[in-house]
Amino acid sequence: MFTELVHIGFGNILAMNKVIAIASPNSAPTKRVVQEGRNKGLLIDMTNGRRTKAVIFTDSGHIILAALAPETISSRSQLSRGGSVLKPE
């Protein structure tokens, strides 16, 4: 089985085949889920003290905080697959 690894900043690598969703951290429901993950011990902070720009949900129930925007993570994933990235106009 092929595992696609994507660099998400500060030497942190993410296995994209385990990712269910990448969300912005600004909404109240996302903030609530992050807090629940923190309380359950399922939160992984990969921001290195920077501001959280993306919340990544995995198939194992872990929640990962990243300092890169969701669009940046998505484009890096597409580029690693050899695809082109279409920029919105």
And the tokens for 44? 């992984």
Domain membership of residue 40 (yes or no) is yes
**Residue 66, amino acid:** A
Range of the domain at 47: 5-80
And the tokens for 80? 């690693």
Residue 79's pLDDT is 82
Domain membership of residue 87 (yes or no) is no
Residue 60's pLDDT is 97
Domain membership of residue 45 (yes or no) is yes
For the chain, 89 residues long, the average pLDDT of each consecutive 10-residue run is: 89 95 97 98 97 98 97 90 60
Element (H, E) at 43: strand 43-46
Distance of alpha carbon 81 from its chain centroid, rounded?
17
Q: List helix spans (H) across 1-89.
A: 28-40, 70-80
Q: Look-up: residue for tokens 């082109």?
A: 84
Domain membership of residue 86 (yes or no) is no
Domain membership of residue 85 (yes or no) is no
Whole-structure pTM value: 0.87
Domain membership of residue 89 (yes or no) is no
Main-chain phi, psi angles of 43, to 5 degrees = -90, 130
The domain tally of the chain equals 1
